[in-house]
Structure 1
């Protein structure tokens, strides 16, 4: 049948909409969302804080963010994850869980290598290790998105998206605030006794002079161990009921079924509307992603200490992220994904303007609390609605490949543009940069409005 994500056949009550969060599939997605969110900041946002503290210039940090393009090209190997079994491992765990476990081992190994590296002495080695983490993390995303989509009916995908997003955001807090807290606590001796003295010392010392690599090594090793949350969840979770596939008789049929058919299916279902959908996916998170690369260098240059950034993002970031993800999931089920998608796009752009205000306001922890809280609330709402929207577009027979295409496209253009963010800041300053990222959200509003006027979204179970 054909169904619309904005006009469900049977709208759940408020009680039913909230109780779905306590179902086993939702709780599993909370833990697996944590495993998915942990590596992202460690190769992007948190790494940029570490590199800036080590004295690496902003332009180099911006270009190194292209490590994240691995997430933008994961659709290339997604068909293999969707169909190719791993010897021995797939027989033991099943198709989805075997790929999840293999990718998680790769993430842990890459994080250990990043921990043992020193960007001041060997930036190339740290970059290669970050690439390993990014590639393994992108592979985990492919398998996990398919695992999530195949774990519940379409009507419950918004709830799974919300719990997944909650776990994902909690991991980003741990990989952002947590790693800063760990690194600050692992320093051999306090560089300065208080935050005011820290600002004075940082202003007078050469960039990178206060960097302590051993402290970062400890923090990254703890992050590697934190991936055990995902490993244990994979080992204890049931494999989703596999989708029956017609077995190809020739290599040519295998290539067509594995590499071509998932993409052909999407264009057959949406025809000319596919261009609009793909355009929306390509730019929906551009404001947040482009801005995010320079957020941590901004904190360093504004003389916020690791302890200050960690405290603000850990307390207020966690609270507002949970609130945002919960609100986004519940409201998407009650009022439709497209309305919440529009609200999230507006809020994300506006929150970037707050960063522009903070750049002119100066070092102020209370102001940082306000900005981080608003940013996390907007991000939680937008992400929960967007994940539900992407999930609704997939055909369950090709869930891994099609979702990988969508989530890759979501990152490809923003990550490429973000690579120039450091050079832009050097030329025009932080306030102009943050304002520009907010303006990038204007075309998003137009595309969401146009997509909302489309015909009802075609279910992949037709």
Structure 2
């Protein structure tokens, strides 16, 4: 049961400060290989096609689950399985950022691309280990606060490596010395990881790499309602993803605000609201069960999208834009704190690096792929209907949450997961369909990278891989959910 006597003072405890610093180290490299690097290349007059190609660096964050089993299986010689990998990835990031600082886009574009890929790889690897570390370290009653504090550190780091880095590079230090400074700030992570406690190692690590790859899947898909929970992870923040997909375009083109006005309000009200929402969410989760927190925050983040609908149907006012952005980011921050706690609660500590990487990759599906659907919907129906639809898009996730209530409550109270019974054959076919679809998507990614590099022209095959892979994954999830519903009905009849 949640501890009802904790308060905001919990956020100032040593463990929370440690998670804040590690969250900061986790979030710092992201902008340095994306937005901030793009700004540096833009100032250096690099052509748009090349800048666009550099955006592929971010694929490391989507496919990080591919090498996460290595970090579950092997233990570095010093500091333990989790802290050892944390320090290795952080030192590698410092080396990568120092190398980026020594280069310039004008003279070393090819070398900078290689180093940027290395930094993104090390950053994604650090995320894998940090997610596993806090999952292993925190007991269920502290996961809400831990998630909130780590997300807060991550957001502060994105501000430092994003807006603050641009300001320093433009007016004071220049680009190279700014990157040197960012490399120096990574020392915060190394120092914190060196002093932090290693999680309890009583739970055994996988004995072989094969076991580290196969067992996490077998463990997760052997649970009761596993496929419904999988769909819940994809859909819980789907409404949020729709609302945010075209928000900047809507405010500038749809409502008529100046780009500078949108930027200032987003950087002030948006950031403040996200930080406040994350903190409030973490404190409230100490007083609520995981299910109630997910339901309450899910309702709030869904309803908050209506603020953009109000902007679409009323006259333009800066105050109304600020209010809509503040409320949406406040509720979204609360939902994020609860959602990260959900992902932690779903991980078996023997394979927490692999399972968290897989689950977080699935949670990014909505954010990554709703963009084309959003643009098509706006073209057909306009902004007002689009934002009403974004409210409706959040409802399926809430309904799935209610369906999975017993499973989530059992996991929070016991620290274990109820195992499924029956329908072994259909479940096996659903899992094979899922793996086949994921393989096709991976093949499509490889072909897309090869095509972007100019090695071959495989546009039709790439499109086939993406479409077939998405269709097979959708079919697999549908089949698995049908098996889960049938299994629940059998359990009720037996009871």
Q: Same fold (TM over 0.5)?
A: yes
Q: CA deviation at 1:300?
A: 9.3
2-side partners of 1:80 and 1:138: how far apart?
Answer: 13
In the TM superposition, what are the counterparts of 1:35-434 in structure 2 within 5 Å? Answer: 35-44=25-34, 67-85=57-75, 90-112=76-98, 128-186=114-172, 215-245=174-204, 248=207, 254-268=208-222, 270-271=223-224, 273-288=225-240, 304-305=259-260, 312=265, 315-349=268-302, 354=307, 369-418=322-371, 420=372
CA root-mean-square deviation: 4.3
TM-score, length-normalised on structure 2? 0.68
State how far apart, in whole Å, the 1-side matches of 2:185 and 2:281 are.
27
CA 70–353 in structure 1, closer or farther in 2 if over 3 Å, else same: farther
Does the 8 Å contact 1:49/1:296 carry over to 2? no
Note the C-alpha offset of 1:111.
4.0
Gapped regions of structure 1 (runs ≥ 5):
1-7, 187-213, 249-253
How far the C-alpha of 1:36 sits from its partner, in A, is 1.4
| 2:444 matched residue in structure 1 | none
> What is the CA deviation profile of residues 191-237 of structure 1, one whole-angstrom value per residue up to 9, with x for unaligned ones?
xxxxxxxxxxxxxxxxxxxxxxx955554443333222212211222
CA distance in 1: counterparts of 2:361 and 2:290, whole angstroms: 20
**Structure 2 partner of 1:211:** none
Is residue 321–residue 380 contact of structure 1 (8 Å, CA) maintained in 2? yes
Give yes or no for contact 1:162–1:329 (8 Å, CA) kept in 2. yes
SS of 2:197 mapped into structure 1: coil
Q: Which has the higher contact order (CA 8 A, sep 6+)?
A: 1
How many Å separate the matches in 2 of 1:315 and 1:110?
A: 31
> SS in structure 2 opposite 1:396?
coil
1:58 and 1:423 in contact (8 A); partners too: no
CA distance, structure 2, for counterparts of residue 292 and residue 61 of structure 1: 23
Number of residue-to-residue matches in the alignment: 411
| Structure 1 SS opposite 2:336 | helix
Alignment check: 8 A CA contact 2:72 2:205 kept: no
Deviation at 1:28, TM superposition (A): 0.7
1:65 to partner: Cα distance = 5.0
CA distance in 1, matches of 2:109, 2:297: 37
Q: CA deviation at 1:383?
A: 1.1
Q: Distance in 1 between matches of 2:102 and 2:331?
A: 35
* Partners of 1:322 and 1:380 within 8 A in 2: yes
Bigger shift: 28-37 or 45-54?
45-54
Gaps of 5+ in 2: 418-495
Q: TM-score, normalised by structure 1?
A: 0.72
Matched, 1:12 2:3: yes
1:295 and 1:43, CA in 2 relative to 1: closer, same or farther beyond 3 A? Answer: farther
Q: Is the 8 A contact 1:324 1:377 kept in 2?
A: yes
CA drift of 1:277 comes to 0.8
SS at match of 2:78: helix
Contact 2:41 2:51 in 1 (8 A): yes
CA shift, 1:359, in A, is 8.5
CA offset at residue 386 of structure 1? 0.6
Q: CA deviation at 1:180?
A: 3.7
The structure-2 alpha-carbon separation of the partners of 1:60 and 1:383, relative to structure 1 and needing over 3 Å to count, comes to farther
Answer whether contact 2:151 2:337 (CA < 8 A) is retained: yes
Distance (Å, rounded) in 1 between the aligned partners of 2:45 and 2:301:
30
Give the match for residue 27 of structure 1: 17
